[in-house]
Amino acid sequence: MTEFTPLASLIGGGLIGLAASMLMILLGHIAGISGITEETLPPWPEGEDNRWRLGFVMGLIISPIVYLIGAGHLPVSNVTASGPVLLAAGLLVGLGTSFGRGCTSGHGVCGLARLSRRSIVAVSIFLSVGMATVFISRHLV
């Protein structure tokens, strides 16, 4: 069972919102993690500076190290799925991100905040498929 952590969740959500807001205000870009990550790899768009993307992705990688140094331990994570199931899940998420033209951060955090109709539809589909997947995997399989 997952432990209820309202304070940590509030702080984490606030930091995500702050990072997304700063990226939009300072650079005019939406914090869609899948798009940012994809565009750190070549080929890069002609004439566009991609250093900010690399910095953003490096921040995602370095953040757990900073947490480890500050707290002295990493948060406990209990993943019970097997390697093949996790691999399949990752591939399906990547496929869904490609079909949806964005991920939960781009659509869910930034798109909903901008009241984007496309994002409202995308997040509704994300949530519906997620709920159906949990129900099927826990009650039917």
- Structural domain of 109: 6-140
Residue 82 inside a domain? The answer is yes
pLDDT surpasses 80 at 49: no
Cα separation, 133 vs 126, in Å, equals 10
Confidence category of residue 10, pLDDT binned at 50, 70, 90: very high
Confidence category of residue 38, pLDDT binned at 50, 70, 90: confident
Number of domains in the chain: 1
Residue 24 inside a domain? The answer is yes
pLDDT above 70 as % of the chain: 97
| Cα distances (Å, whole numbers) of residue 61 to 58, 71, 101, 138 | 5, 17, 23, 32
Residue 79 inside a domain? The answer is yes
Residue 1 inside a domain? The answer is no
